[in-house]
Amino acid sequence: PLITHHCSLPTVHWISPMPTTRVANYEAMFLISQSQPFGEAINGIRHILERYGASILAMRKWDERRLAYEIKKQKRGIYILAYFSCDTKHLGEIERGFNLSEQVMRFLITRADHMTVDEMKAADAHKELEAEAKLRATQPAAAFAAAVTEPPVVPVDEDEEL
């Protein structure tokens, strides 16, 4: 504390410490529906992250798969992987934003302490996402669903030992 004397009474002035911000790197996986516009969903993810001060390090399409069970009457979904950094105190607000988002069916955010920033940036595919968004906007969604192939099912002979 800093003590100053004005007149006859001492006055105590508390010097507040500088506010501390703890920035951490995060890895997030988003599941979005195939039935909605792809570009709008990607922009929606970006908007929520940037609204709460997150800096997007990398974002790319991870995969497009058949879901194990229906979510919001959807049987297939697109997985988007993103790496971002933000102040740890804003993480709850970011999660709340995605919980309220109609564009994201499911999401998972974890700390990315296992990766360096350079490794995260190497996974960036913003340009590919934008190109796919433009392509999906001009072609029907059914064309993309047909293009994604499921792994072949190998018949198993019951007499064979595994």
84, 11 in Cβ contact below 8 A?
A: no
Percent of the chain with pLDDT over 70: 74
- Tokens 């968004």 locate to 133
Beta bridge partner(s), residue 10: 5
Q: What is the pTM of this model?
A: 0.72
Q: 91-148, pLDDT tens digit by residue?
A: 999 999 999 999 999 999 999 999 888 988 888 888 888 888 888 888 765 555 545 4
Length of the chain: 162
Note the pLDDT of residue 96: 95
pLDDT confidence of 14, banded at 50, 70, 90?
low
What average pLDDT does the chain have?
A: 82
